[in-house]
Amino acid sequence: MKGIPLLIDTNLLVLFIVGTAAKEYIAKHKKLTAFTIEDYDMLVRIVSGASEVLVTPNTLTETSNLAAYIGEPAKSKVLDVLRTVSANSQERYVPSRLAAQRSEFIRLGLTDAALLEVCTDKVTLLTTDLGLYCAALAQGGTALNFNHLRDQYW
């Protein structure tokens, strides 16, 4: 994956942010019950192999809201990591009116429709959302389903 821009979906971005703050927060976080420290470690390997990490304002907003589902002092540490990651990621803006015009909008919502606007054959989408993954592939984009990758080490 070296040299390929990586577009990260919300759930994985929350995992990355929380795990970067402290791996032990993963088990304590209300929105990360489906993930383990091993998942975080694999995600870090994937992210470190990308040429750049891409996000959308929609994904960052959802991540900010979900990442805050942990008590203090962890919450402050997690949001501080989010601030750093936001500053070091390449943000791709998609106007909401454009994303809402996509046929997938009704089924997937605004955030995922915006991700589909960014996802191409030159930008790899990383997600745990099967519907989003299939929609990305159907439009000719490049996508990885994190759950498929997890199955390789479980």
Query: Residue 151: helix, strand or coil by DSSP?
Result: helix
Q: By residue range, what is the domain housing residue 131?
A: 5-151
User: So what's the pLDDT on residue 1?
Assistant: 47
- The pTM of the full predicted model, rounded to 2 decimals, is 0.93
Token pair listed for 121: 């054959």
Instruction: Identify the CA nearest to 123 among candidates 45, 52, 61, 56.
Output: 52
Q: What is the CATH number of the domain that holds 95?
A: 3.40.50.1010
Query: Residue 92: helix, strand or coil by DSSP?
Result: coil
Percent of the chain whose predicted confidence (pLDDT) is above 90: 91
* Low-confidence spans in the chain with pLDDT less than 70: 1-2, 153-154
Contact residues for 58 (Cβ-Cβ < 8 A; gap 6+): 94, 99, 110, 111, 114, 115
Q: Domain tally for the chain?
A: 1
Positive or negative torsion for Cα 95, 139, 91, 17:
positive
Token pair listed for 82: 């989010």
Token pair listed for 90: 């390449």
Token pair listed for 74: 């962890």
